[in-house]
Structures are given as C-alpha cells and as structure tokens.
Structure 1
Amino acid sequence: MELAYQKQNKEKFARYLFRRKIIFIIAFVGYVSAYLVRNNFKLMSSTIMATNGWDKADIAFLLSCLTISYGLAKFYMGALGDRVSLRKLFSISLGASALIAIMIGFFNTSITTLAILLVLCGVVQGALAPASQAMLANYYSNRSRGAAIAGWNISQNAGSALLPLIIVALTSMGLVVPETGNILMAFLVPGILVLLVAYLCWRYGGDSPESEGLDSLRTMYGDAGESNVATEEEREGLSYWQLIWKYVFTNPQLLLVAAVNVALYFLRFGIADWMPIYLNEVGNLSNTQAQLAVSVLEWVAIPGSLVFAWLASKYPNKMAKIGALGLFAMVGFVFLYEKLVSDGVTNYPFFLVICGILGALIYGPQLIVNILTIDFVPLNVAGTAIGFVGLTAYLIGNMGSNWLMPILADQFGWFWSYTVVAFLSAFAAVGYLVLSKTEEKVKVV
C-alpha cells in the first residue's frame, strides 16, 4: 500500500515526510523548553526560602501546588487538545508558561502570590505533553510512531539537565547571585528564550496531515497507518463523549496501561526523589556524592532511552515485551542497589554504574507507556487518553511514593520501602506481558 501510494504521489509524499520531520523537531524542542520554565522555582527554592525566612513546609506546600495542578491539568488539557488546534494549544501554553516563570522571578516574596502562579503554571504546563505527543501520533504511522514517541521522551531528561546548566552559567557571569537573593535572571532569561521557542511552535507546528492538504495516514499507509483499535465507521457512529467513555474510561487495555504507569511513577520518584536522603542516612555518603549519584541516574537515562527508542524502531509492535524484560531486570537491580547502600557503599564507582543502570531501566520502560497509550485508542481521543494516563500516574504513583516510601522506612526500615518498589516493577512487567498480545493485534506494521 505504502509503495503504491509513493509512486502515484511522489511530490505530496515527499512534502509529508518533510513536515513529519519538522513536527518532531517542534515537539521535541518545545517540550525541552517546557522544562526550562517549569523547574525554575524548584531549583531556586532554597534561596527563596532563606530570603523570605520561610521553612521547608512552606516550600513543600508551594511545590504541591504545582504538582497537583499539573497532574489534574494533564487530563482536562489533554481532552481540550482533542477538540482544538494542537499547534495553537501547544504554542500558547508554552508561551504562557514562559510568562508565568518571568512573573515568579519578579513576585516571589508572597506565599499566596507564588501559590497562585504555580497553580497557573501547572495548568498551562499540563497541556504540553498531551499536545506534543498527539501531534506526533497524527503525523507518524505505526512503524515509525513508536520510535518518534520514544525519541520525544528524551526531551524531558534534556530539559531537566539543561536548566541547571543555564542557571550555573548565569551564576558564573554574576547575573544570578543566590547569596544576596538576586535570582531574577534565573527566571527571566529562560522565560525569554522559551517565548521565542513558543513563536516557532506557533509558526511551524501542525495539527494533522489532512489540515495541511495532505492525505491521512490510513490513505498513505493503509492498515499500517494507525492502530486498528476502532474502524472509521465505529468512530463516526459515536459522539466525542461516547468515544471517551468507550476507548478511555472503560477501555481495559488503557486502564491496565494506566495501572502500569502508576507503578512506574512510584518506581521513578521512589528511587530518584528519595535517593539524596537515603544515601545520606543509610549509605553515609556526602551531599556531593549523593548529588553525583542522582546526576548519573538522570544522564544515563538519556542513552538508555535511546536504546529503547532504537528497539521501538526495530520492533515497532513488540515494545510491551521489551518493556517487560527491562522491568524484570529492574527487580534485581533494585535489590542490588539497596544491598550496596545498606552495606555502606564501599565501591563508589561501581555504585555509580548501578545508579546509571537504574536510570536507564526507569526511563526506558516508562516511555513505552506513551507508545501503548496512543496504540490503544483512536487518534481523535489520543490527547484525552494521554492526559488520563498521566493524571493517574501523578496523583497515585508520584504522590504515593512521596508518602509511602518514608512511612515504610520509618516504621519498618528502608529495605521494605525498596521491596515495594521491586514488587511494583514486577507488577508493571507482568502488565506489559498482558498488553503485548493486544499490541500485536492492533498495530499492523
């Protein structure tokens, strides 16, 4: 089907392939930029706390304003993306995020003001992941969609790593001086940069090939254009809300994907967020050694995710099985990590290697969630599905790790905290194995 179409429509197909590349660049760079105006408060929170004479509870409250509003917004902003222009939603939300970050730089002496700004930041940021992933889903066929989503997933690691480097550079130039409370440029410079990126997203982003006078994925690729979870006749016979009810809220496969993602978010934040305290208290490592371990975990996640992106390209309808293998391996590495720390980390270089492997096995299998979410729903409700899966992950997985990890550690010891992490890794692996059969059925390549 694809070869016949290419021969008959060479010029149009070439224009589609060019636009597909542009859409990936926009989605990737745009989401990298999202992190440049999302984590500014978190990185500068210690200075803001000291300057205003606040305590840790105040900062925890403010961070929760961002986390909760962001988690909720992923769902309803994702649903909005199914009804409006993805290009406009993405670029406007990104620009609004930049403006809010700049405002935080100017107005950070009032808890009430900061709470309002961080809630607003979470709301507009909630549109960015669903909108950018939906753009990719609309332009990439079954064979290439998994690799595109997997490649896009690295943008969150790149953005998380880039913002601290920008702030370090501004500090070295004397434009940011935390000791005196002079931190405006840590918000203003990234904000202005992201405003420029938002304009490029508005100018060059897209909604779908059809909106640009090109043919649909199914016309170009046949059954391999998009997942076969619903025929065109089935979709046309249902209203938008009926589609959401059938293919999102009561879709067994998507509900299992959401459950797997909850487990993976607990795994991710349970390890990464509690690593500094755990390594200090139990491993007797210095703050510098603990921070280096966290950095290694995040940086190795990038090449680790690239490996999974390559596997997604090579085995486009077998990603669930690959994710399961990675998560079964994760069970063993979680217990090895706990053992090394509880014994006092006598071989620090080897310990850093283990931290790097943890990073690869956290983020690699997690990107598969994004691939399966899009595979298991019709494209016209992809944004809602992405938002729903993200909502459950943040409100149950992330918040659960924030509360359950320290409670278990205080009551029974850190070993049992990480036993729960290992159990959830095994649960997610089994979930992927169950989903692998459906993946091969709906994703013709």
Structure 2
Amino acid sequence: MIPFLMSKPGKPIPEAEQLERYNRLRWHALFGIFIGYVAYYILRNNFLLSSPELISEFGFTKKDIGFISGTMLVIYGLSKGVMSALADKSNPKHFMIFGLMMSAAVNLMMGFSASFWAFLFLCILNGIFQGMGAGPAYVVLASWFPRKSRGVTTAIFNISHNVGGGLVAPIAGASIAWLGTERWQAAHFIAPVVIATIVAVLVYVLGKGRTYNEGLPPTSKILGTEQEELIVTKDENVNLTTWGIFRDYIVKDINVWFVSFIDVFTYMIRFGVLTWLPLYLLETKGFSKGQMAAAFAIFEWAAIPSTLLAGWLTDTYFKGCRMPLSIITLIGVGASMFAYWGGHDLLTVTIGAGIIGCLIYVPMFLSSLQAIELVPSFAAGSATGSRLAQLCFRKLFWHGIIWDLSRSLWLGCWFLPLVIRSLWLYLLLLYDSLRCVTFRKEKASTSRK
C-alpha cells in the first residue's frame, strides 16, 4: 500500500480534551464521506446519460452501451469487495480521495475518447476506482458513531447516492446549456471531473479518517458505551493482515453472511424494477415518456425520506434492532409489487413504483448497517466487502432474466417471468431477514471480543 493510503496514528489527544474534540470532529467525518460519495455517484452515472450522444455521434449501438455498462458493473462489484477489505488497513479519508481522483482522471480521458474499445477500457478502470468509495465510508461510520445513533447517521450517509444520482442530469443539462450541444463530451465527462476535484479538496480539508487517525481512542471508550455495542472495539490498530481480518471476522461469522444475502436479494428486486421500469411503462402500460419519467423520479427520490425515517425509528423505537423494521418494509414491498404489476392506470402504477422505491431501500440500508455492527470497527470495510457475493448472484440472476426476456417477448408476455422471479426473491429475502433476527439474538448473548 502506498504511504498516502496507510493508516497512521494521529497525535494523541489529552484525555480531558477527547470528548470535546470527538463531538466536533465526528460531524466533519460524516460530512466528508457524504459529499465524497455524492461525487463518486456523479462520476459513475454520467456514462449512461451520455448514451444518446454516443449512439448518434460515434455510432455506438444499444448493444455496445449495454455491454460497456454491464462490464463496468461487474468490475465495480469485484472491486468493491476487494477495495472495501483493503480500506480496513488504510486511512479511510485518504483512501476515498485517492479513488475519487483516479475515477476523475478516467472520466477526463473519456471526454477525449471516441472509440468503443477506448470507452470499454476506461469504463473498466472507472469500475475499479469506483469500488474505493463505499468501504472507507462505512469504516468511518463504524469508527465515529455509537450504535445508539448509528441508524440516523448511516441513513444520512446512505441518501448520498440518491443525491448524487439525482444531480447527474442537472449537471449535464446546465453544462450543455452553457457550453453548447457540440461540446456534449465536456458537459457529460469534464464538468463532473471539475466538481469531483473540488469535492476531493473539501474532503481532504474538512473530512476525517477513523478516530485512531485523529489521535483519539475508540468511540466506545470515549463515550463509555461498551455495554451498548454488539461487538466492542478495544483497539483500532490491530496486528492483523487484510486476509486475517476477513478470515477471522467475516468468513467464520455466519451472521455476517446472512446479512450479506439480504443485501443480495434486495439489490435484485431493486434493479429488477429500476432497470426495466422505463421499458415496462412505455411498452406494456402505454405511458408517455413524461409519465414514465415522473414515475422513475418518484421511485428514486421517495427513498430519501423513508431512509431517514427508518434510521431514526431503529435508533429510537427499535433500540438498535435493525431487522424487525426490514421485515415490516418487505411486507409493504410485496403488496406494492402486485399494485405495480396489476395496475392499469397511471395513478395506481405510479403509487406502486413509488412505494417500492420508498421501502426497498430500507432493508438495503439496514443490512449494510447491521453488517458493520456485527464486527469490530477495524473490520467494517471487510464486512462491507463481504457483499462481493452479490456479484455471483446478480450475474446468474440477470443472465436468467435476459433469457426469460428474449423467450417471453416471442410469447407476448415478457413481464410475467420478471414478476415471478421477483416474488420468489422476495420470499427468500423475507426468510433471510427472519433468520437474521434469530442470529442477532445469539450474537448479542455471546462473549464480547
């Protein structure tokens, strides 16, 4: 690991000043990972938004766009697993900044590229560097915030990808209006690079690493909350390799794997709706492009208030128990899927899509939160990276979906296999959430490490 990324101890803070310094710096830490991950999303989603110009100006086909974006997602999944584990042994602030600037450099090159193979290579590189964003963010959350308030703070961070995804189109639109349509590459790729560079500077100046990097002891020692944590971190600077942390705290812990499977199934349902929503509403339901765009926006933005509310509820009323609320929201997702599938008018289908978007992000966010609470804070990145298993499941799932889609188009009822498969995933997800409640109780009763 290069010296800039390595985790180094900060200058020790006198005990009398630790609480005051902690209360001030923890919000710097949250602010840094929030704006940092917003910038990651801006540099990730801009490629798909440039698809019409790539097709009309450079002769790309829809198949080319699908192959490039699909390849980038697979590489991103692999990178996220590996990079999140490496984040455990790094300074998370520096790790996030490095990945962001490398992704910005790749996007800058996209602004001057015109061939399919150049874009494919650059998108693969972008997928690798994009995987450096999530791991350090969860390391910071696990390090700075106690379990009793981690629901709200993780919820605040989690909406960063909704904010980042929602800013891509306005940034591109404003840039095209300013630069002109003939400079569409600069609008789609170079303008986001400028914004990401400014964000990287802000993260470096205002953001923070883990408490260890700032000269503070673990949060549980500062606040005296050892008895409230599922796992107590005695020292964040452990003498273990990346593989040693992954082996001892992830591979051998069945609780972490159950939570990871929840994340797998929720992602499948989310992308099952998100990926096919435009085509389904336009071609099967007969919606206009404006109506489809409204339903699509509602699906994405409805997650922001529901995520914040879910974080507050699990902290306040569920006392840190994350899975019961996941089960409640999954029941709502199941009911909404029938409304989304069976509705024929604009209002019913839009409400169904909105409720799915509102609720499906809740178990996604809570499973990520539960994963980092099942391990010491120095293994939070590896717990996030354990979701590498998603890649295998998603690849198999979507390979089957593509086959179902091509076969069903010939039969004239293409959406039915998607619904049946989503319902099956929904049942698996509900079962897995129930198992997590049981294993969480067992985890709480074990000796603290």
TM over 0.5: yes
Match of 1:301 in 2: 303
Deviation, 1:250, is 3.0
Question: How many angstroms apart in 1 are the aligned matches of 2:262 and 2:392?
Answer: 14
Q: Is the 8 A contact 2:341 2:349 kept in 1?
A: no
Question: How many angstroms apart in 1 are the aligned matches of 2:97 and 2:185?
Answer: 26
Match of 1:331 in 2: 334
2:394 matches 1:393: no
2:358 matches 1:364: no
The partner residue of 2:375 within 353, 374, 377 is 377
Task: Find the residue that maps to 1:274 and give its secondary structure.
Answer: helix
Deviation, 1:336, is 1.7
Deviation, 1:146, is 2.3
Query: What residue identity is the alignment partner of 1:51?
Result: E
The partner residue of 2:400 within 404, 420, 435 is 404
Question: How many angstroms apart in 2 are the aligned matches of 1:364 and 1:294?
Answer: 18
CA deviation vs aligned residue, 1:412-444 (integer Å, no higher than 9, x gap): 742332122123223212212221244356569
Instruction: Give the direction of change, closer, same or farther, for the CA distance of 1:364–1:94 in structure 2 (3 Å limit).
Output: same
Question: How many angstroms apart in 1 are the aligned matches of 2:227 and 2:95?
Answer: 25
Query: What residue identity is the alignment partner of 1:371?
Result: L
The partner residue of 1:115 within 110, 120, 125 is 120
Query: What residue identity is the alignment partner of 2:301?
Result: W
Match of 1:428 in 2: 429
CA deviation vs aligned residue, 1:95-121 (integer Å, no higher than 9, x gap): 1111211211112x1122111211111
Deviation, 1:236, is 6.4
Q: Is the 8 A contact 2:49 2:169 kept in 1?
A: yes
Task: Find the residue that maps to 1:311 and give its secondary structure.
Answer: helix
Question: How many angstroms apart in 2 are the aligned matches of 1:114 and 1:41?
Answer: 10
Question: How many angstroms apart in 2 are the aligned matches of 1:269 and 1:298?
Answer: 11
Instruction: Give the direction of change, closer, same or farther, for the CA distance of 1:443–1:30 in structure 2 (3 Å limit).
Output: farther
Instruction: Give the direction of change, closer, same or farther, for the CA distance of 1:223–1:434 in structure 2 (3 Å limit).
Output: farther
Match of 2:20 in 1: 14
Instruction: Give the direction of change, closer, same or farther, for the CA distance of 1:240–1:42 in structure 2 (3 Å limit).
Output: closer
Q: Is the 8 A contact 1:325 1:429 kept in 2?
A: no
Query: What residue identity is the alignment partner of 1:56?
Result: K
2:46 matches 1:40: yes
Match of 1:51 in 2: 57
Deviation, 1:206, is 2.4
Deviation, 1:231, is 7.1
The partner residue of 1:78 within 75, 84, 89 is 84
Q: Is the 8 A contact 1:331 1:422 kept in 2?
A: yes
Deviation, 1:393, is 2.3
Task: Find the residue that maps to 2:85 and give its secondary structure.
Answer: helix
Question: How many angstroms apart in 2 are the aligned matches of 1:172 and 1:208?
Answer: 41
The partner residue of 2:262 within 229, 237, 260 is 260
Task: Find the residue that maps to 1:127 and give its secondary structure.
Answer: coil
1:187-266 alignment runs, 5 A limit = 187-224=189-226, 227-229=229-231, 240-266=242-268
Equivalent pairs: percent with the same residue? 27
Instruction: Give the direction of change, closer, same or farther, for the CA distance of 1:236–1:93 in structure 2 (3 Å limit).
Output: closer
Query: What residue identity is the alignment partner of 2:324?
Result: K
1:303-322 alignment runs, 5 A limit = 303-314=305-316, 315-322=318-325
Q: Is the 8 A contact 1:79 1:383 kept in 2?
A: yes
Instruction: Give the direction of change, closer, same or farther, for the CA distance of 1:44–1:238 in structure 2 (3 Å limit).
Output: closer
Deviation, 1:25, is 0.6
Question: How many angstroms apart in 2 are the aligned matches of 1:283 and 1:189?
Answer: 36
CA deviation vs aligned residue, 1:252-306 (integer Å, no higher than 9, x gap): 1111112111111110000111111112232122233222211110111111212
CA deviation vs aligned residue, 1:301-332 (integer Å, no higher than 9, x gap): 11121221221331342211100110022111
Task: Report the aligned-residue RMSD.
Answer: 2.4
Instruction: Give the direction of change, closer, same or farther, for the CA distance of 1:21–1:316 in structure 2 (3 Å limit).
Output: farther
Deviation, 1:225, is 7.4
Task: Find the residue that maps to 2:159 and give its secondary structure.
Answer: helix
Match of 1:30 in 2: 36
The partner residue of 1:183 within 171, 177, 185 is 185
Instruction: Give the direction of change, closer, same or farther, for the CA distance of 1:236–1:94 in structure 2 (3 Å limit).
Output: closer
Deviation, 1:18, is 0.9
Q: Is the 8 A contact 2:263 2:363 kept in 1?
A: no
Question: How many angstroms apart in 1 are the aligned matches of 2:204 and 2:183?
Answer: 35
Task: Find the residue that maps to 1:183 and give its secondary structure.
Answer: helix
Task: Find the residue that maps to 2:111 and give its secondary structure.
Answer: helix
Deviation, 1:350, is 3.6
Question: How many angstroms apart in 2 are the aligned matches of 1:254 and 1:163?
Answer: 33
Kindly tell me the number of residue pairs found equivalent between the two proteins. 425
CA deviation vs aligned residue, 1:59-111 (integer Å, no higher than 9, x gap): 1221123111111000111111111211111111111111211211112x112
Match of 1:91 in 2: 97
Taking structure 2 as the reference length, what is the TM-score of the superposition?
0.88
Query: What residue identity is the alignment partner of 1:70?
Result: Y
Q: Is the 8 A contact 1:264 1:366 kept in 2?
A: yes
Query: What residue identity is the alignment partner of 1:423?
Result: W
Taking structure 1 as the reference length, what is the TM-score of the superposition?
0.89
Instruction: Give the direction of change, closer, same or farther, for the CA distance of 1:401–1:293 in structure 2 (3 Å limit).
Output: farther
Instruction: Give the direction of change, closer, same or farther, for the CA distance of 1:426–1:369 in structure 2 (3 Å limit).
Output: same
Q: Is the 8 A contact 1:135 1:207 kept in 2?
A: yes
Question: How many angstroms apart in 2 are the aligned matches of 1:365 and 1:41?
Answer: 28
2:132 matches 1:127: yes
Task: Find the residue that maps to 2:381 and give its secondary structure.
Answer: helix
Deviation, 1:190, is 1.4
Query: What residue identity is the alignment partner of 2:101?
Result: G
Task: Find the residue that maps to 1:317 and give its secondary structure.
Answer: coil
